[in-house]
Amino acid sequence: MTRRSAHLADRRSVLRATGGLAVLSTAGCLGGGGADDGADGGGTGTDGGTDDGDDALPDDGDDVEYAVERVAEGFEDPWGLAFLPGDGRLLVTERPGRLSLVDPGSGTVESVAGAPDVFAAGQGGLLDVAVHPDYPDDRRVYLTYSAAAEDSPADGSGATTHVGAGRLDPPALSGFEAVRVAEPFRDTDLHFGSRATFGPDGALFVTVGDRRDTEFGPDHVSQDPSNELGATLRLTPDGDAHPDNPFADDPDASDAVYSYGHRNPQAMAVRPETGAVWQCEHGEEDGDEINVVERGGDYGWPVASEACRYGTDDPLAPGHDERGDVVAPVHYWPCGSGGFPPSGAVFYDGDAFPAWRGDLFAGTLAAQYLGRFTVEGAGAAEADVTERDPLLDDREWRMRAIAVEPSTGHLYVAVDDPDAPVVRIVPA
């Protein structure tokens, strides 16, 4: 048994002794308040996508010494982080609807006016933030958020995921408007997805959750690319469907859809070595996944899954390997493992921690630690992913968002809490 495996076994023993696994699994289907989407999946567990036993690839970054510093405090459920290129300041979103600009040196927090009205209920609100790759020449800042029909330029009933953009002239975001509305609207406050990141070609990728559609089967919204739920959207910076999208010429599909068959992807990052987009998404109970996103790929939900039905040990669907028509995850946490409910991810490419270069960092919510994964190979079929020793697992923090400070290589983490800090990981 590896050091990591022993550590996770100890944590699971504690959760079982206190009834933690049962409590977290039950909370996963409630989806509101402080235990919102983070309870999808439950506590810490072993993973099933790759072999993390004694034959795992050696880890050159397992003995890195680091310290944790508080950058700023008092955030209400922070959700997204993005550094301003050439500026050094950090944008932070808070789910109730506030956008802030943080000076990492002084810890000063400045409120940014001009954010949109949001549907701040359950898992909804002001969610992710991304900065145009040509900033400051192009000063557009992009926000993803849930909005009700009455606050949307599109027609509908209920709420859905929106993408909007405005020009950042601190301390204000001017001319903000919705540039994409993921339809259809649904009368639920769950599963908005909503990570946003720019790919190496300048396209904007946005994740949209399945809005907690429980009609499991081939007619599920995630299996229908004619709508934009349970999907990855690929957009131009103006919010239009990218002209090279896989369904651009299909009259029966949404031209904005890049991949589909997703449940609730809340982490997304571009791998610098390959330019590929990676995602982490929530399973039902366990079944959390790490995926390499391929053009036109069907990622299986809910006709293929590694998850349990909530409150049971029964598999929800056949596994990905039992179907030949879906893209399998490169790493997953199987039914019965305890899961890894994810939020926020980044590939580390900084100078502060050379031993971690190329590693994937992903936050986990209910399991309350920062995961580190070494990656070998490329592509959905060839990548070999190994989870290593967790970071910050003694803090009892739900990890919501992660970013790397360009000038220093320090790792920044937003903690998910009604009175939360943003912290950074620095060399000890």
CB 398, CB 340: distance < 8 Å: no
Burial tier of 5 (Cβ tally within 10 Å: 0-12, 13-18, 19+) = middle
Q: What is the DSSP string of 26-78?
A: HHTTT--GGGTGGGSS-S-----SS--STTSPP-TTTT--EEEEEEEEEESSE
Distance CA 173, CA 167 (A): 5
Distance CA 353, CA 337 (A): 30
Q: Catalytic residue among 132, 191, 220, 282, which?
A: 191
User: For 207, phi and psi rounded to 5 degrees?
Assistant: -95, 145
CA distance 254 to 228: 7
Is 331 annotated in the active site?
A: no
CA 265 to chain centre: 5
Cβ within 8 Å of residue 370, ≥6 positions away: 361, 362, 363, 364, 390, 391, 392, 393, 399, 402, 413
Sign for the pseudo-dihedral over CA of 412, 61, 359, 266: negative
- Is 399 in contact with 392 (CB distance < 8 Å)? yes
The H or E element that residue 350 is part of is none
Please state, in angstroms and rounded to a whole number, the distance separating the CA atoms of residues 269 and 278.
5
Supply the residues annotated as catalytic.
191
